[in-house]
Structure 1
Amino acid sequence: MARRRLSHEGTLVLDSEGLSQLLADNETVVALVAEARSRGMEVVICALTIIEAVHARTNSARLSWLLSGLRVTPVGDEEAKAASALLMGAGLHGHKYAIDAAVADLALRQQRPVVMLTSDIDDMAKLCGEGVRLVSV
């Protein structure tokens, strides 16, 4: 398996699929997170990502353990307004893309360079523009 190389320092953001794959112990995602940490990158998720990634079969003990090693950022008024502005700028509706917009806003606020593990390359590209390197998972 060829490993994807990440930047030195900066931030790694996991969207819902990134967190889901980490929970599932996906070899590629686990390796990318480990490499990010070894390079001094902080690993971050939006608090709303937890809501989107969790389901009836989620191992709650594993989830708690993984979350203890991530920076989980809340979404307050300022972040919600910024995410709404991203949605309007991208021509997307909050009903379908609200959490994606919150994750994109989080990513755009992080220490550069920023890498995001996502399954929504097209939508995240619309929301993040050139400010975030997107890696498909």
Structure 2
Amino acid sequence: MVEIDPKRSLQMSRIRSADTKPEILVRRAIHARGFRFRLQRRDLPGRPDIVLPRHRLAIFVHGCFWHQHQGCKLASTPKTRQDYWEPKLAGNVERDARAVGALEAMGWRVQVIWECDTRKPDRLAARLDAIFSKE
């Protein structure tokens, strides 16, 4: 059995699954564009972070580490306990792919906005412009 470090346990307990800083930045930017949306729709596969029902658009705001953003410096693999982290992170990526596929099969447009895109306002604005110009 692996000894659990109390400091690490405290750190991990503070990681949020909803209302994260990147998610709030995206929500504010979408709202400023005049769009109204729903949050965390439990009746949809993968429970998208932001849902625009009128536009049949589901948006996931993914953390680069937790969802392993390819080519991103924030998506590193921890050096310790790799036997734990590698299957966990790979499972997250597989679950994301299943959710996207299920939503698309239901006729939804699905977009993913990465945490690194939210760190620079101009990148986020360009990303949202690209998403909403497809309307």
Q: Same fold (TM over 0.5)?
A: no
The alignment's TM-score, normalised by the length of structure 1, stands at 0.26
Structure of greater Rg: 2
Higher RCO, Cα 8 Å, sep 6+: 1
